[in-house]
Amino acid sequence: MADVPGPALDVQRYATPGRPVGLRAVDIGADALLRLPAMIQAIAPAPGVPVSRVVVLSDAVPKKRLGEEATALVTSLLSGASGAGDVHRVTVLEGAGGVHADERTVAAAVAAAAGASVIVTVGSGTVADIGKAVTARLGEPAHVVVQTALSVNGYADDQSVLLTDGVKRTTPTRWPDGLIADTQLLAEAPLQLNLAGVGDLLAMFTAPADWRIACLLGMDDKYAEDVVTMVKEHGPAVLRAAPLLREADAGAIELTAKVLTLSGVGMGLAGTTAPASGAEHTVSHLLEMAAARQGRPSAYHGAQVGAAAVLAALAWRHVRQRVRAGARLMRCPSEDQMRRAVRQAFSSLDPSGAMAEECWRGYQRKLARWRERHGDADQLDPAHLDDAARLLEEPGVLRAALRRSGAPARMAQLDPPVDAQTTRWALANCHLMRDRFTVVDLACLLGVWEPADVDAVLAEAGML
């Protein structure tokens, strides 16, 4: 498993004068957790000066490493470390369906962590997002994330997915200063949570195409081929390693952790999650928003992304087929028309209209930018579609990779499963929830995302 550069993964090698990497220290491997005190001394606000107060931020979910509870072990390691100062444990709030990165939860954690010199966040993706938001608000503390599962790529970037009026919003927060990924701790995480990381990484085979077409159509000016390549070149290795995660293979765990870290760093370098988040992520976000509003748990985010990546690849296939059949004219709908569409899409989840209004604020910016670039109507250059499509993988390949690894390959296989009606709703409306141009936006503008088109994509998904 030597497909990822450097045993310690020197992420600073990817920094340039105009694109700094704020993540200063990464330790991925055996016994990495035991080296946490040394990392803190290296990245503390004043290296070599004793740390006055350390806050260990985690949720209440037990996480085991060789029989010890991981958060308690972190607290013990730091309490016994020279110069670590007072160590306080803070447990983030838990709501219906689990921990949510909403304003109430972040604000409570900020209040509890005030005065910390260092914050150590112990947990998986949502807890890491909360930790990054807390340190961004407090400003001063150094921040180390102890990753407890191979669940998502968001441990290593400077953004957090937070809930605003029930809507998932990617929000600039702050790079962690250090990242610990202990392969023994990761090996003892729930297998399906680790396999969710494989699903999250499958976005490398769909999201870059969305990012590229957005750039070619003037809807995103941040596209960077080198950021895409730094992750995508490891795609074959990830697909080879994925089935080995079921055996808790140390090499497969380490490789997956490193590629997840590279993916997070890539998002930070780009200043956007677009390198790793396209239509497949908006589908997952809608599923999570629906579950949260209904007070029920959702499946793991990365697991949903993996199954949705197959649908996104099929949406790309559908658009390309329709363009080859002659679809070219891109018409810009009116604000009134799209505002009604957004309200209709989200009114059943939130009758108050707050969720729809938050989604509309994002979509309205996207619609205005489209009209500025293209007017009321424009012709699609098929060469643009071909350029973006080179970054895709075939949907059958993605589904086969999920099956080989043991990860859910269909929405109905998620835990808890997503029914056909909810899947259809999320796929049909995923472009309406944020200011991010994807293949589904293009399908809508081309007039090839009518109910029959969505049904055609879902029918093809059933045949794979």
Residue 24 falls inside a structural domain:
yes
CB 36 within 8 A of CB 26: no
Query: Do residue 459 and residue 316 come from a single domain?
Result: yes
Report the alpha-carbon distance of residue 400 to residue 381 in Å, rounded: 32
Number of domains within the chain: 2
Residue 37's SS3 state is: helix
Residue 383 falls inside a structural domain:
yes
Query: Do residue 285 and residue 374 come from a single domain?
Result: yes
| Burial label, 434 (beta-carbon count in 10 A; 0-12, 13-18, 19+) | buried
Report the alpha-carbon distance of residue 423 to residue 340 in Å, rounded: 21
Two tokens, residue 182: 């202990």
Residue 214 falls inside a structural domain:
yes
Two tokens, residue 208: 């870059």
Query: Do residue 158 and residue 19 come from a single domain?
Result: yes
Domain harbouring 420, CATH code: 1.20.1090
Domain harbouring 107, CATH code: 3.40.50.1970
Report the alpha-carbon distance of residue 330 to residue 313 in Å, rounded: 21
Residue 234 falls inside a structural domain:
no
Residue 170's SS3 state is: strand
Residue 97, domain extent: 11-189
Query: Do residue 81 and residue 212 come from a single domain?
Result: no
Residue 114 falls inside a structural domain:
yes
Q: What's the CA angle centered on 354, arms 371 and 164, to 5 degrees? A: 85
Strands 64-65 and 142-147: unpaired
CB 48 within 8 A of CB 41: yes
- The pLDDT, as a whole number, for residue 82 is 62
Residues 6+ apart with CB under 8 A from 215: 221, 222, 223
Residue 241 falls inside a structural domain:
no
Q: What global pTM score does this model have?
A: 0.94
- The pLDDT, as a whole number, for residue 50 is 65
Residue 230 falls inside a structural domain:
no
Mean pLDDT by groups of 10 residues along the chain of 464 residues:
61 92 96 95 72 92 96 94 80 83 95 95 95 95 97 96 90 97 97 96 98 98 97 96 96 96 97 97 96 89 97 98 97 98 96 96 98 98 98 97 96 96 98 97 98 97 83
Query: Do residue 25 and residue 55 come from a single domain?
Result: yes
Q: CA 370, 375, 378, 382 torsion: positive or negative? A: negative
Report the alpha-carbon distance of residue 267 to residue 141 in Å, rounded: 23
Residue 246 falls inside a structural domain:
no
Query: Do residue 139 and residue 212 come from a single domain?
Result: no
Query: Do residue 169 and residue 295 come from a single domain?
Result: no
Query: Do residue 37 and residue 180 come from a single domain?
Result: yes
Query: Do residue 328 and residue 416 come from a single domain?
Result: yes
Two tokens, residue 21: 């990497």
Query: Do residue 20 and residue 86 come from a single domain?
Result: yes
Of 227, 425, 170, nearest to 308 by C-alpha is 425
Query: Do residue 320 and residue 289 come from a single domain?
Result: yes
Query: Do residue 166 and residue 214 come from a single domain?
Result: no
CB 45 within 8 A of CB 198: no
The number of beta carbons lying within 10 Å of the beta carbon of residue 381 is 12
- The pLDDT, as a whole number, for residue 2 is 47
- The pLDDT, as a whole number, for residue 81 is 74
